[in-house]
Structure 1
Amino acid sequence: MSGYLAIVSARFKALLQYRAAALSGLFTQTFFGLVRIMILRAFYAASVVAVPMALPEVTGYVWLGQATLLLIPWRSDEDVAEQIRTGNVVYELTRPLDLYGLWFARALAWRTAPVFLRMLPMFALAMIVVPLVAPGWGLAPPPSVATFVLWIACFAGAVLVSAALTTLMSVTLMWTISGDGVPLLIGTGATMFGGLVIPLPLFPDWIQPVVYALPFAGMLDLPSRLFTGDLGIAFAPAILAHQLVWTLALVALGRALLARGIRRLVVQGG
């Protein structure tokens, strides 16, 4: 276990060095967050039927989506992809560590460090600066301390789901040439059905059972709805169970595919 923790720690510290990219991303995400809020406010103003989420909750939902944007697994681990392309993955097999555990540890750091670099400044901006400039457009604090604590637990669960999806994408590189197809499908699905484009409660009623059965809802939608108070703290165990089940399922699938890939692995050259 200490070996995996060392990998997480080392890569986490390395990724924290990209502060300039985080700063530019902060301004970009703030802009798109304001644009999305503007669109949703216009939608709410023109709506003549009851909406499933109140406007302040939707506003907070948008800011939380922008703050945790990098949890979306848009692509596989580039270092792992390069190892597979060059054949250097055989050196990873000589390490006294489980290969899947090694890749999962790398994905865990990759899905947390960039998020922390942007999330904390985004919270300060959305909670303090935006309400001063545009009242009603900011991120309201959670309803209670208990809600915030449970949101932290759900955020950790979201990181695990995202890391499991990222590792699964890396494993599929053993069967693909370019390696872009599976990450594109998963990234698109996570963007659309995770709540980043449209809050999931605004989807048609007939598709919501399908959307909430997917792993993507546990990465952005469910934790965000808990934070804003749209879901009470009584829903927290169900959210954590959803995340745990999908994490275990994705890890089991990734391990099975990796074991099959290693059995078929052939490295050409000297």
Structure 2
Amino acid sequence: MRMHFLIAQKTYRINLQYRYTQLINAFGSAIIGFILVCVWRAGSTPYGGVGKYSTANLISWIAFAQVLFNIVHPATGLNIQKSVRTGNISLEFLRPINYFTYVMSRELGRQLYALVFKSIPIFLIYWALFSFKIQSFSQILLLIFTIVLGVYISMCINYLVGISALFTTDIRWANTLSFSLLCVASGSMIPVDLLPGVVGKILSRSPWACFMNPACSVFVGLYNNNILVIPLVWSFILTLTCLGLTNLGKQKVEVQGG
């Protein structure tokens, strides 16, 4: 556990040299979120809202989703494909630590950095503009838990994108598919339960829907008691899948001679 902490800490410190650039990016991201808020406000105000969501709910949802977007959209493939391309992954497999937990610890440091220098500044800006309200302490705890699950699931998905570089010559197709589903099914631009028809029902149960949708639901106070069921199930399934593909990839590297 101490080794994992040190890996995360090292990654966080390495990224500190870019903190001022990140703050500028955060300002740009805040502007994009503000534009989306204005679009939803203009579209929903004449009707008093959309579905079960009032205009105020939608404004809070879209603004908070923009805050979360910066921590549920990690580096493409967690940069695993770069290690595969250079051959360094054969050395990383030799480390006295599980490769999956090593990469996740490394990415955790990067995500904590994004939280401090992108998400929190954006949240403070939006808090001043939109007057966010949290109802209770228990809601705050549930919100934190749903955010942690969403970030973990997003990291697992991107890990699978990256580790697929061991089995294919190009991961861009997997990354494009994942990013498209992130934009459509994660709740970043629209609550997932507003998506129509069978597609909406399928996407609402996909792992991408766990990225932001549960956290945003808790944030606006529109959630039910089983909101954690799907994220917990996907966390378990994706963890096993990542570990399984890691073992297969390791065997593939060993058989091919590194």
TM-score when normalising by structure 2: 0.90
Q: Percent of counterpart pairs with the same letter?
A: 19
Structure 1 residue runs without a partner (length 5+) = 131-137
Q: CA–CA distance in 2 between the matches of 1:59 and 1:85?
A: 43
Match of 2:144 in 1: 152
Letter in 2 for 1:76: G
Q: Is 1:13–2:1 an aligned residue pair?
A: no
Match of 1:134 in 2: none
Q: CA–CA distance in 2 between the matches of 1:48 and 1:125?
A: 25
Match of 1:243 in 2: 231
Q: CA–CA distance in 2 between the matches of 1:141 and 1:76?
A: 35
Match of 2:174 in 1: 182
Shift of 1:267: 5.0
Q: CA–CA distance in 2 between the matches of 1:5 and 1:49?
A: 45
Alignment of 1:113-152 (within 5 A): 113-128=113-128, 130=129, 138-152=130-144
- Superposition RMSD in Å: 2.1
Q: Is the 8 A contact 2:48 2:54 kept in 1?
A: no
Q: CA–CA distance in 1 between the matches of 2:198 and 2:248?
A: 38
- Of residues 212, 219, 222, the one that matches 1:220 is 212
Q: Is 1:255–2:255 an aligned residue pair?
A: no
Matched residue SS, 1:96:
coil
* Larger helix proportion of the pair: 2
Q: Deviations over 1:105-152 (max 9, x none)?
A: 223333332133212111211112x2xxxxxxx152212222112101
Match of 2:185 in 1: 193
Q: Is 1:264–2:252 an aligned residue pair?
A: yes
Structure 2 residue runs without a partner (length 5+) = none
Cα 1:94/1:207, change in 2 over 3 Å: closer
Letter in 1 for 2:119: M
Q: CA–CA distance in 1 between the matches of 2:146 and 2:166?
A: 32
Q: CA–CA distance in 2 between the matches of 1:213 and 1:55?
A: 25
Cα 1:50/1:38, change in 2 over 3 Å: closer
Q: Is the 8 A contact 2:186 2:192 kept in 1?
A: yes
Shift of 1:10: 1.5
Q: Is the 8 A contact 1:4 1:101 kept in 2?
A: yes
TM-score when normalising by structure 1: 0.86
